[in-house]
Amino acid sequence: MPVLDRPLRHTLRLAAAAALSLACLSAQQAGAAPLPSSAPAGGAATGRAALSPERLADGVRGRDVVRHLRAFQRIADASGGNRGYDRPGFTRSVRYVAGRLAAAGYRVERQRVPYTDFDIAKERLSVRTGSGAGRKVPVLMTRFTPSTSAAGLDAPLVAPPRGKTGCAASDYDGVAARGAVVVLARDACGFGHQQQVAAQVGARAVVMYYPTPSPRNNYRLMGLPRGSYVLPMGMVSQTDGERLARRAAAHEGARVHLTLRGHDVRRTTVNLIAETSGGDPDDVVVMGGHLDSVPEGPGVNDNGSTAATVLQTALELAPHQDRVRNKVRFMWWGAEELLDVGSGYYVDHLSPAERGRIAAVLNAELLAPSNYGRFVWDPGTGGSHRIAGLFAGYFARHGLPYERQDPGAIGSDHLVFQEAGIPVGGLDGGNLQVKTPEQQARFGGTAGQMFDPCYHQPCDRLEAVDRTALDTNARALAWVLGELALKDGAVRGIRAAG
């Protein structure tokens, strides 16, 4: 999932799409117990015996999913450490998934998706005090924001006084911000708003950091919609950002040299699509997850964990695909990390009739972070609420704790279907949010730390995946898919709820 300001995400996606075309609900259950396993050691369905949701889930165990995660990790290791949407690792991931699907008997479609990417040519920051040599500070340019000149800019470094966030022009009272580079901590008012305020007081650029319990992490942000970002902007780690802010506050005459250079480039990604040969084509159940990582890491949890679960579910269903009651469409999205590019293109190019045939969409994100929670997406009403009830019932029967949260709490491909009026459901294990003591008591792990300290980092590797969370969440997704694919009642209930 991409790092974006949460407010007005719907507006941001629509604005981004236009630009690209042109160039807690609190119910929870207590206790936890391991799920029983009755499937053969290989995880494959045996023969053509009758399939049930329970049998389907038994074939999508954590150890079965891990085989695909190992493949994704090997791909990333052989591809510069990532499976980024515009990198060889993504192409190799597509090839791996498509090959497994074809071998299982599916007809695989590659939907070509044109999009506008943002290539970063140079991102450099150095800071100096007095006449000494500058100290280099790692910086990540925010995508789709303005560039500096080719030579970069040399300017004083300033920061709002302690306790001020840069969310209001008055925060800069007494600060010589005009002509300076401003260092800021990302605040709840949003980094887009913060850079606009910095521009109002005359700053030339913004250097920002994201405060988290993992202060050495750095997160590349995305500056969309385009017209809202008027200054060059780069991200540093919290450790470096706080050090820069202290220098600025000490009035030591700190100066920075900042070069941020990027430009648009047209590219094409792909969505992978494989659907069952059987099933009612007027009641289609979509199960999907994005296949790309950010270019800064291998993305084994985000979102290899879901992509691998969808793949294993498809493989387990393959021997029975001609006998499902409702048609199942498995999908792997491209360029989700650039704000749902693949899924947005898919939905935008569906006819009204085709949209109406989709009864439900299952999606998931970050199923198995090291400090995991278990969050069921539930808007509280409509067909999506009925899907959430399926997940809730599954977890309750197996004694697995969970919390409900609004589907918009974590941005991903399901939101474009939701915006189109299609019921959606799914899970996530948490990302940048910090686990509370109450959540520690519910899920285990460590309070005061992020659910996923490796989110969008190089450490998002197989060894950081929690196997227990992967096992329980993968099975839950497969079971709900089985309920929707194999039985009429669940889909009828979702349709009736609207």
Residues labelled as active-site residues: 336
Computed over its alpha carbons, how large is the radius of gyration of the chain? 23
Angle (nearest 5°) at CA 281 between 277 and 287: 75
DSSP 342: H
Alpha-carbon distance of 322 to 444, in angstroms, equals 42
Cα distance between the two ends of the chain:
27
Alpha-carbon distance of 9 to 5, in angstroms, equals 7
Name the amino acid, one letter, at 466. D
Q: Going by C-beta distance under 8 Å and a sequence separation of 6 or more, which residues neighbour residue 191?
A: 5, 142, 184, 208, 221, 233
Alpha-carbon distance of 217 to 323, in angstroms, equals 48
Alpha-carbon distance of 280 to 12, in angstroms, equals 35
144 Rama sector, left if φ>0, alpha if ψ -120 to 50, beta otherwise: left
Tracing tokens 């001609």 back to the chain, one arrives at 322
Alpha-carbon distance of 282 to 280, in angstroms, equals 5
Nearest to 365 by CA among 303, 314, 407: 303
Q: Which two tokens stand for residue 24?
A: 């807690």
Alpha-carbon distance of 365 to 353, in angstroms, equals 28
Q: Which two tokens stand for residue 345?
A: 């293109």
Q: Going by C-beta distance under 8 Å and a sequence separation of 6 or more, which residues neighbour residue 397?
A: none
Q: Is the bond leading into 213 cis (omega within 30 degrees of zero)?
A: no
CA quadruple 239, 240, 243, 244: dihedral positive or negative? Answer: negative
Alpha-carbon distance of 242 to 260, in angstroms, equals 21
DSSP 434: B
DSSP 321: G
Let me know: does 69 contact 325? Beta carbons within 8 Å: no
